[in-house]
Amino acid sequence: MVRTLAEIEQAILRLNQKERAALARNIIDDLDTVLDENVDRLWLEEAQQRYQAYIAGETKAKPAQEVFDKARRRLRQ
């Protein structure tokens, strides 16, 4: 039986919150296995560039608590 994406979405939305969360974790875990093998190198390069920009005074730092609070607010929207 072939189901359309819309049918699958409707079936998922009928699941309770705990079941949807478990499904989401399974999907994310599956997607994480297909990451680009260069991702660690790319993240390291990005971190180094950001650090150099900070040291050079090209960017400003923000307190971690401010960043986390902003992220939590955005996730609640």
Count the helix, strand and coil residues of the chain and give each as a percent rounded to the nearest 5.
Answer: 70, 0, 30
Q: What is the pLDDT tens value at each position of the chain, 77 positions in all?
A: 678 999 999 999 999 999 999 999 999 988 877 667 788 889 999 999 999 999 999 998 999 999 999 999 999 98
